[in-house]
């Protein structure tokens, strides 16, 4: 590379021919920021792969964070047209992306745990909420209703006491057995993520996974970007 040639990031190839609105979903044709879209590239073997970290080289294309849209892109062969090459998108690409997002979230949870920013156990979660230390809470999808209700009461009490519009978000993404398969002994029934870089990373990835599974919308009550008072 000569001294006059600019350093090009992997994403720069994606913007060829786009207007000033930014990256465009190949299904909806709507522009969005990288945090609103998933990048896909062609692997050396000619298959389509998700580039969640947006670091893989070559021309990429984008799909909104929505499982249904990924499935639609596969069905309509949109990836080959967008990448301008003869690529094959596996029929189960949508499911593969879900698994990658789940693994990414679990890895960040383990990092947050090591950093002291992820705790589990109903009593610890309740205390973290009432002290204002919790950024978000997590429940196994098959957690007992009474345990979830008690933690929801703590969330409501914090919200009313702080007189803020922002609530502590609550995520229900995996069953206990699913977490045991992904996290082993670190599986939990109730957990909370605390302030810090790793903790914020957990919330960001949890929101992304929930959006992907729920038509691009997050159903977690509360705001992931809450600032502690």
Give the torsion sign (CA, 70, 73, 77, 80).
Answer: negative
CA distance 60 to 198: 28
Q: Choose among 66, 62, 6: nearest CA to 34.
A: 62
pLDDT in tens, 126-175: 999 999 999 999 999 999 999 999 999 999 998 887 766 678 999 999 99
The model's pTM is 0.85
Neighbours of 59 (CB within 10 A): 15
Q: What's the pLDDT at 181? A: 85
Q: Is residue 226's pLDDT more than 60?
A: no
Taking phi over 0 as left and psi of -120 to 50 as alpha, with beta for the rest, 95 belongs to alpha
Name the DSSP letter for residue 183.
H
Alpha-carbon distance of 37 to 34, in angstroms, equals 5
17 pLDDT exceeds 50?
no
Higher pLDDT, 224 or 15: 15
What pLDDT does 9 receive?
55
pLDDT by residue (tens digit) across 104-130? 999 999 999 999 999 999 999 999 999
**Where in the chain are all domains bearing CATH 3.30.1230.10?**
10-90
Return the SS3 of 15: helix
Q: How confident is the model over 169-204, as pLDDT tens digits?
A: 999 999 999 988 888 888 999 999 999 999 999 999
- Above 80 in pLDDT, residue 54? yes
* Two tokens, residue 215: 């038509």
Q: Which residues pair with 60 in a beta bridge?
A: 41
Sole residue written with tokens 């919308």? 217
Question: pLDDT at position 160, please?
Answer: 81
Q: Of 134, 118, 133, whose CA–CA distance to 169 is shortest?
A: 134
Between 3.20.20.70, 3.30.1230.10, 3.40.50.720, 3.40.1780.10, what CATH number should domain 10-90 receive? 3.30.1230.10
Residues above pLDDT 70, as percent of the chain: 85
Structure tokens at 7: 């350093």
- CB contact at 8 A, 13 and 58: yes
CATH of 95-213, one of 3.30.1330.30, 3.30.1330.60, 3.40.30.10, 3.40.1280.10: 3.30.1330.30
Predicted confidence at residue 218, as pLDDT, reads 76
């Amino acid at each position: 590379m000569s001294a006059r040639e600019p350093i090009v990031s992997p994403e720069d190839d994606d913007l060829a021919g786009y207007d000033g609105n930014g990256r465009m979903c190949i299904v909806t044709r709507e522009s969005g920021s990288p945090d609103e879209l998933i990048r896909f590239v062609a692997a050396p073997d000619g298959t389509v792969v998700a580039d969640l970290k947006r670091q893989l080289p070559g021309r990429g294309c984008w799909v909104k964070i929505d499982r249904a849209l990924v499935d639609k892109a596969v069905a309509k062969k949109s990836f080959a047209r967008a990448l301008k090459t003869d690529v094959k998108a596996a029929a189960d690409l949508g499911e593969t992306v879900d698994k990658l997002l789940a693994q990414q979230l679990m890895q960040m949870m383990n990092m947050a745990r090591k950093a002291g920013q992820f705790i589990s156990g109903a009593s610890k979660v309740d205390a973290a909420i009432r002290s204002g230390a919790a950024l978000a809470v997590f429940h196994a999808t098959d957690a007992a209703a009474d345990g979830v209700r008690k933690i929801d009461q703590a969330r409501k009490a914090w919200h009313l006491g702080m007189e803020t519009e922002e609530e502590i978000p609550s995520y229900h993404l995996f069953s206990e057995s699913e977490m045991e398969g992904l996290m082993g002994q670190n599986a939990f029934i109730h957990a909370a993520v605390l302030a810090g870089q790793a903790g914020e990373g957990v919330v960001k990835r949890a929101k992304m996974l929930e959006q992907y599974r729920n038509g691009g919308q997050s159903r977690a009550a509360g705001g992931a970007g809450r600032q502690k008072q």
